[in-house]
Chain A
């Protein structure tokens, strides 16, 4: 039931992910951040097996940093996406990672980009992408309303439309979402969309 989706706008890319940590029928927490800041200008929104998700994205993050330390310049989004795909492809026939990834980034030369990398290491550069059951709703909504070069406000409106669609039509819809943006000023949190806050119990 994990929902991850993203789109590219004018000079920026946005990704949104649900924030539920689920184990069978139990919701452990509803503020789990599934979008990792890979480096200053890259975001990785990951969905899938929780252990693999954290392990694999941290592995990619550390390797991306290592490249920067060794070579003095950061990887481009395309290079990071291809590295990620290579790692998934190598592991695929040994001990596969069950992680689907949407990698969003901003590069000086090529602008904003979004890469779809699924768990069997299929890589494709896309304008809009989504994973999970939520994708049946978010992809269709984005197909209907997406245009090239949207502004941030228009893109957020579209993201909210997708979240509304998921909440109203997916049977076990996640209650909360996090939205992050990457543009020339870097990768950062944009907003949270919470319909259920964490409840703190009173001390007995």
Chain B
């Protein structure tokens, strides 16, 4: 089994009309065994910027909460006295990952944010920082192939926040149901310029 599939994960982000949604599954496993069903894969960097990391859980924790990303943004905030733009943050993550080119963090990030004029921005990258920008949706994790299919089928441009929530939730749940290593519910953040709505989904708990 590949080391990327050791813990199991699924993350997806979608663009709407002046809003975005980012969602992940909640399973933490060790190969075939499920350890926990409330694992946090998505971190808030600031009110209009979220990052979801799929892949090896220990590296997810090292990058997100513990060391690199939240910490680096806090330093940036102190120096620049403002929040980082999503494009800038994506470049930062890409650089951090490429620093470890020959001994990489085994994660694939999905970054979603509202940029200037509240224009939504999403991107994903591989474990060594190769950025992939998209206008509609990005996916990563063990369920990524199913997520590509489900998102492609369900996505429409310029959805409002409520419809976007429905779409991303259905895409996530139907994809993780076909992947034994991810699932046990979902965690969805829908972000508009004025508010962040965080919701927990109850899907097939198996």
Which A residues are CB-close (under 8 A) to B7?
122
How far is B38's CA from A129's CA once the two chains are assembled, in angstroms?
A: 14
Query: Who on chain B is nearest to A129 by CB?
Result: B35
Which stretch (A21-29, A33-41, A113-121, A154-162) binds chain B? A113-121
Residue in contact with B57 in the complex, picked from A92, A122, A136, A139, CB distance below 8 Å: A122
A interface footprint on B23-49 (CB within 8 Å = 1, 0 otherwise): 000001010010110010000000000
Query: Who on chain B is nearest to A116 by CB?
Result: B35
How far is B66's CA from A122's CA once the two chains are assembled, in angstroms?
A: 12
Q: A82-B66, A86-B66 are in contact. Are A122 and B61 (CB under 8 A)?
A: yes
Q: From residue 112 to 152 of chain B, which have CB atoms closer than 8 A to chain A? A: none
B58 within 8 A of A: yes
Query: Who on chain B is nearest to A117 by CB?
Result: B58
**Contact call B58/A122, Cβ cutoff below 8 A:** yes
Which B residues are CB-close (under 8 A) to A126?
35-36
Query: Who on chain B is nearest to A90 by CB?
Result: B62
How many chain B residues sit at the interface, stated as a range, is 10 to 19
Residue in contact with A121 in the complex, picked from B35, B36, B39, B61, CB distance below 8 Å: B61
How far is B62's CA from A83's CA once the two chains are assembled, in angstroms?
A: 12
A interface footprint on B72-103 (CB within 8 Å = 1, 0 otherwise): 00000000000000000000000000000001
B interface footprint on A102-139 (CB within 8 Å = 1, 0 otherwise): 00000000000000101011111010010000011001
Which A residues are CB-close (under 8 A) to B36?
116, 124, 126
How far is B106's CA from A89's CA once the two chains are assembled, in angstroms?
A: 13
Q: A85-B61, A120-B58 are in contact. Are A135 and B66 (CB under 8 A)?
A: no
From residue A8, how far is it (CB to closest CB) to chain B in Å?
A: 13
**Contact call B58/A92, Cβ cutoff below 8 A:** yes
**Contact call A93/B66, Cβ cutoff below 8 A:** no
B10 within 8 A of A: no
How far is B111's CA from A13's CA once the two chains are assembled, in angstroms?
A: 38
**Contact call B61/A139, Cβ cutoff below 8 A:** no
Beyond the given A82-B66, A93-B103, A139-B33, please list 10 additional residue pairs across the A-B interface where CB-CB is below 8 A: A85-B61, A85-B66, A89-B62, A116-B36, A120-B56, A120-B58, A121-B61, A122-B30, A124-B28, A124-B35
